[in-house]
Structure 1
Amino acid sequence: MSYASTADMQTRFDQQDLVLLTERENSTPGEINIPVLEQALIDASAEINGYLAGRYTLPLSTVPTALVRICCDIARYFLSSDNAPEHIHTRYTDALKFLQAVNQGKVALGIDSQGDKAATNDTAFMESAGSVFARAKSQGFI
């Protein structure tokens, strides 16, 4: 199971960049090589699972949006191989830092340990003693 789809990659990144990143010897010129893109997403998801395995039951039943973005960034880095520009490398290292923080429990994904959406009981309630400066309480000053 991949945390992101080829459609997620196409939404996040430029079409021409994905064509260049997935181009192989047997590729159709000017088109994204979908099998290559899918393999990069599978590899990225496997790396993510390495960080999540100690904290969550895999596979996750609900995929948080943050993991979709992280998966796309990691897959893009994998597609760039040794020629990754600095901004792609930076996004990859940021993704790994995020995953390390999740692994250490410093960042929560918003799901419970079973991978389901977490239920919360910490809803904020506001109480008021009423208005301090109301016309009825002004006693002639307003």
Structure 2
Amino acid sequence: MPLFATLADMQARFEARDLVQLTDEEGTGEIDAARVDAALIRADAIITGYVARRHKDVALLAGNQLLSDIACDLAFQELWRGDRPEHVKDRHKDAMKRLSDISAGTIVLDGGQEVAEPRPDAIMFPGQPNTFGRDSLKSF
């Protein structure tokens, strides 16, 4: 099952006739949900590869609208069998650019747990000794 987008998201983002034309190999006039899900799963794999660089648990980002849009654009291109129109190529290019920006930290996603990058040469020093400790309060 796809993580970031669903068939309903694809139907909301693209024309139904386009989805039927791209997925209906049987000639039923209906959208082939299995083909759409397969394309969305492949899109999820690409997204996870980029997002996991910054976020520990990618599954926490499942409801993120930006990632849903990216998944739809990647899956839509995946459904094309032959030459892709320019607008499809442009959407794919924009989606990949956004993923690169997420991976680089330029775009910050809401939710999820971002992985903090280690800072070189961090200064470590001990704190002050306790003023009121077990040993200092023995006489009271």
**What is the match of residue 54 of structure 2?**
55
**What is the match of residue 23 of structure 1?**
24
Alpha-carbon distance in structure 1 between the residues aligned to 2:81 and 2:95: 16
Per-residue CA deviations over 1:6-41 (Å, capped at 9, x if unaligned) read 0110111111100011122xx242100110011000
SS in 2 for 1:56: coil
**What is the match of residue 46 of structure 1?**
45
Q: Please give the TM-score of this superposition, normalised by the length of structure 1.
A: 0.74
SS in 2 for 1:60: helix
Alpha-carbon distance in structure 2 between the residues aligned to 1:89 and 1:56: 27
SS in 1 for 2:58: coil
Do the aligned partners of 1:55 and 1:103 also contact (CA within 8 Å) in 2?
A: yes
Alpha-carbon distance in structure 2 between the residues aligned to 1:17 and 1:58: 34
**What is the match of residue 85 of structure 1?**
85
Report matched runs for 1:63-102 at 5 Å.
Answer: 63-102=63-102
- Give the unaligned 5+ runs of structure 2: 116-140
**What is the match of residue 110 of structure 1?**
110
Aligned length: 113
Matched, 1:10 2:8: no
**What is the match of residue 118 of structure 2?**
none
SS in 1 for 2:59: coil
**Counterparts in 2 of 1:114 and 1:102: CA distance versus 1, 3 Å:** closer
Q: Please give the TM-score of this superposition, normalised by the length of structure 2.
A: 0.75
Give the residue type in structure 1 aligned to 2:41: I
- Give the unaligned 5+ runs of structure 1: 116-142
Give the residue type in structure 1 aligned to 2:7: T
CA RMSD of aligned residues (A): 1.7
Do the aligned partners of 2:55 and 2:112 also contact (CA within 8 Å) in 1?
A: yes
**What is the match of residue 32 of structure 2?**
33
Per-residue CA deviations over 1:53-105 (Å, capped at 9, x if unaligned) read 11112332243110111100000000014421100110000000000000001
SS in 2 for 1:99: helix
